Amino acid sequence: MARRNKSRGGGLLRALNVVAFLPLAGRAPMYGRLLWALARDPRVPTARKAVLGFAGAYILSPIDLIPDRIPLVGSFDDVAVMVLAIDVFLEGLPESLLKEKLEELGIPESELQSDLKRVRRMVPRPVRALIGRIPGFLDRVGGIVAQSRDPIRNARSVNSEVIPT
């Protein structure tokens, strides 16, 4: 069986996709500390933490939704997923909590805002809007799970619906 040769431009396109995120790479350890501090804080909603967990699971998974061989998007989907997850995570936090953690870690808020602005410019608005709905969905699922943990209350609500008092 003959193997198909990759196109010469494929490597260049992959490199151009990743270049957009390079300025953030040097600040990754700093932002990693920020995310760790926020993820450990009990004031951060569980649904926001779950967004980071799902993104981490996707990155570690050997299965890609967008195969690497697709030009323009395939090579950086892992990076894009993580960056979007971080953006959604931070966007839903109380501003006072975020400022508190930034001050604790000595991270200039202007630098974070500048980096977030750069990331938002690279991701189409409809994609950001769709990703931004995930925490609300997770909140609703969490509410359903919490109700299922209280079988007596659920039985009463079912009984009151079936047999009016």
Q: So where are the chain's domains? A: 19-132
Cα–Cα distance for residue pair 54/123, rounded to 1 Å: 19
83-97 burial code (b ≥16 CB/10 A, e <16): bbbbbbbbebbeeee
Q: pLDDT digit string (tens) for 13-41? A: 444 455 666 677 778 888 889 999 999 99
Q: State the pLDDT at residue 102.
A: 94
Task: Return the percentage of the chain with pLDDT > 90, whole number.
Answer: 16
Does pTM surpass 0.75? Answer: no
Q: Are 61 and 69 in contact (CB under 8 A)?
A: no
Highest mean pLDDT out of 52-61, 90-99, 126-135: 90-99
Residue range 137-164: average pLDDT? 62
Q: State the pLDDT at residue 13.
A: 42
Q: Is 23 exposed, middle or buried (CB count within 10 Å of its CB: 0-12, 13-18, 19+)?
A: exposed
